[in-house]
Chains A and B, each alone.
Chain A
C-alpha cells in the first residue's frame, strides 16, 4: 500500500520522449501493475476457495473430511455421498419441485412483466403515470410486512404445502422487471409501431413482431434474473411448505441440516446440487449477464 499514492499513469503522460523521467515512470508503472495483480489474484483465490472446498468436501468419505492436517485433494474420490444423500432425503422430489417452480415462475414472471411494461410504455391512459409511480414505490416497500397476510391468504385458499403460492403470484409481474422492460421499450422508436399499425397489425402483433425482437437483450436479462430468483428462493417456500417431500431444494437443504446437522459430507453434496444450475447457466449466459448488468446499471 506504500506504493499507492501519487503514481502517475504512463498513458496520461503526453511526452514520453525524455529518457530519464520515463524510465522512472516505467518502473513505477510496473510496480503498480504488480500491486494490482497481487490484489486481484489474492482476492480471487479467497473468493474461489469456498467453491473448491465445497466440491472437494462433497467428494470425500466421512472419515476424511475432518482430518488434521486437512486433505487438500480428495483421495480416494468418493461419489458415494451423492447416493447417500438421495437415500437419506427425498432429494429427487425436491429437485422436481424446484424445477417446476423455476421453469413456470421464470416464464410467468417474464411474460407478465413484458405485457405490463408494454402497457406502461405504449398505451398510456388517464392515471397511468400515477400507477407507474406505484410500481416504482413497491420496489422500495419492504416485503416482510406481507408475510403473515400472504400466509393467511394461501391458508384460506388451501394452498399451503403446495407449490401454488410460489407459482401463482408470478403471473402478476414483478415491479423491478416491469421497470427494466418499460425503460427498454421507451428507447425503441415509435415509428416502428406506427408502420406496423398502418400495415394492419393489432397491438399484440406489434408487441410480438416489432418490439420483442428488438427488446431481446432486456427480456433475456429479466428471464435470467427471474431464473436465479426462483431457483434460489428460500423465504417464501420456507414459510408455506412443510412436508419433507413437498419442499424445494433450498428449503430441503435447510430441513436436512436440521435433521443431519453434523453430516457435512452429505450437506456439501446437497449444496453442490443446489448451486450447480446457477453456475452452469451463468457460464453459458455470461455475455447476457454482462449486458444485463449494463442495462440495469442505473442511470441516475
Chain B
C-alpha cells in the first residue's frame, strides 16, 4: 500500500484535480487574475459559432485523415521490408527508427530549412524536372503548408514501425508454411495471413495515432505558428493562443473539453467498428 501512495498524490494533484478544475473553468470566464465568473454553457455556445475554431477543427481533421493512414502504410511497409532475411538489418532498423526519437523542435527546424522555397527539397524536385515556378512554396503557401507538415511527420514512422515489427515477429511461422503448401504467393500470404494476424496491432496503432494526431501542436507552432492565413491552425494551437495570448482561460478550457469529447467519440467509434475487422486469436 505505501508504495503506491506517491502515484496517488501525483494523480490527485496533476491529473484528477486539474481535470475537475478545467471542467469548472470551461463553464466560466476568467482572465487568470481576479474572480472566476460562472457563465454556464456560454463558452460552448460561442465555440460552435467561432469560425476560427471550426477552421482549426477542419485543419486538424485534414491532418489526421492524411497523416495517420499515411504513417500506418509507410510504417507497415518499412516493417515488412525489415522483417525479410536481409544483410545489415540492424543498420537499416537504426536508420528508419532514429528520426522518431530525435527531439521534435530540432527536427521541425531542420525540415523548415529543407522545405524552404529555395531549399533542398525543391532542388530535388528541380532535378526531377519540376520547373522552378511550379515548385511548392511549402510553409509560405496556404495550400502547401499542411502537406509540408504531413510530409515532415512521415520522417517519424520509426516508433510505429517497431510496433509492427514486434507484431510481425509474433505471427506463427506454421501459418506461412501452411499457406505456401496451399500454393499461396507473396501477396496472398500478406493478404490472408500477415494482415489478419496483425489486425490487433494495426488497431492499436490506429487508436494511438488518432489520439496523438488530434493533439498535434509543436510542429505547427514552430514551422508556421498556425499560418499562413490560419491554414495550419490546429485545435491545440488555437487553445494555446486563446489561453496564453488572450488569457481567455474559460474559453480555452471549453476548447480542451470539446477536443476531449471529439477524441473520445472517435476512439469509441473505432472500438465499435473494430468488431468487424480486428481478428483476435484464442
Binding site for B on A (CB under 8 A): 4-9, 12-14, 32, 36-37, 39-40, 43-44, 47-48, 50-51, 53-54, 57, 66, 68-70, 112, 115-116, 118-120, 123, 125, 128, 131, 134-135, 138, 140-153, 169, 171-173, 178, 228, 231-232, 234-235, 239, 250-251, 253-254, 257, 264, 267-268, 270-272, 274-275, 278-279, 282, 286, 289-290, 293-294, 297-300
With A57-B113, A140-B211 as contacts: A282 and B101 at CB distance below 8 Å:
yes
Q: Please, which residues of chain A bring their CB within 8 A of the CB of B3?
A: 115-116, 118-120, 123
Q: What CA separation (Å) do A51 and B114 show in the bound complex?
A: 11
Given contacts A66-B118, A148-B243, 13 further A-B contacts (CB under 8 A): A5-B185, A39-B77, A39-B81, A112-B7, A169-B14, A171-B10, A231-B103, A250-B105, A254-B221, A274-B106, A275-B103, A278-B101, A286-B94
Query: For chain B, which range describes its interface: under 10, 10 to 19, 20 to 34, or 35 or more residues?
Result: 35 or more
> Judging by beta carbons under 8 Å apart, are A297 and B163 in contact?
yes
Find chain B residues with CB under 8 A from A9 CB: 180, 186
Which residues on B sit within 8 Å (CB–CB) of A6?
Answer: 185-188
- For A250, list chain B residues within 8 Å (CB): 103-106
Residue B22 lies at the interface, judged by CB distance under 8 Å to chain A:
yes
* A254 adjacent to B222 (CB under 8 Å): yes
Question: Scoring B residues 162 to 204 as 1 if CB is less than 8 Å from chain A, else 0, what string do you get?
Answer: 1101110010000011001100011110000000000011001
Contacts of A268 in B (CB 8 A): 109-110, 113
Residue B58, interface by CB 8 Å: no
User: How far is it, in angstroms, between the C-alpha of A152 and the C-alpha of B113 when the chains are bound?
Assistant: 36
Please provide the chain B residues from 236 to 267 with a CB less than 8 Å away from any CB of chain A in the complex.
236, 239, 243-244, 249, 252-253, 256-257, 259-260, 263, 267
Q: Of the 9-residue stretches B43-51, B64-72, B84-92, B142-150, which lies at the interface with chain A?
A: B84-92
* Cβ contacts A to B, 15 pairs, < 8 Å: A39-B81, A47-B96, A50-B107, A50-B111, A69-B123, A147-B243, A147-B256, A148-B249, A148-B256, A173-B6, A173-B7, A228-B101, A275-B102, A275-B107, A297-B162
Give the distance to chain A from B202, nearest Cβ to Cβ, in Å. 12
Tell me whether B114 and A53 are in contact (CB under 8 A): yes
Cα–Cα, bound, A4→B17 (Å): 55
CA A13 to CA B176, docked complex, whole Å: 12
Cβ of B277 under 8 Å from chain A: no
Question: Is B57's CB within 8 Å of the partner chain A?
Answer: no
A148/B166 contact (C-beta < 8 A), A12-B180, A142-B263 known: no
**In the complex where A50-B110, A142-B215, A264-B113 touch, is A5 in contact with B95 (Cβ < 8 A)?**
no
A300 B6 Cβ-Cβ under 8 A: no
Taking a contact as CB atoms under 8 Å apart, the answer to whether B95 and A149 are in contact is no
B186 → chain A closest CB, angstroms = 5
Q: Which residues of B contact A120 (CB under 8 A)?
A: 3-4
**B11 beta carbon closer than 8 Å to chain A:** yes
B13: Cβ under 8 A from any A Cβ: yes
Residues of A within 8 A of B103 (CB): 231-232, 234, 250, 274-275, 278
Which residue of B6, B104, B217, B260 contacts A232 across the interface (Cβ within 8 Å)? B104
Q: Give the A-binding residues of B (Cβ under 8 A).
A: 1-4, 6-11, 13-15, 17-19, 21-22, 25, 32, 77-78, 81-82, 84, 86, 90, 92-99, 101-107, 109-114, 116, 118, 120, 123, 155, 162-163, 165-167, 170, 176-177, 180-181, 185-188, 200-201, 204, 211, 214-215, 217-218, 221-222, 236, 239, 243-244, 249, 252-253, 256-257, 259-260, 263, 267, 280
Chain A residue at minimal CB-CB distance from B157: A47
- CA separation between A40 and B239, bound complex, in Å? 41
In the complex, what residue of chain A is closest to B96 when comparing beta carbons?
A: A47
Residues in chain B near residue A254, CB distance under 8 A: 105, 221-222
A282 to B123, CA, bound (A): 31
CB distance from B126 to the nearest CB of A (A): 9
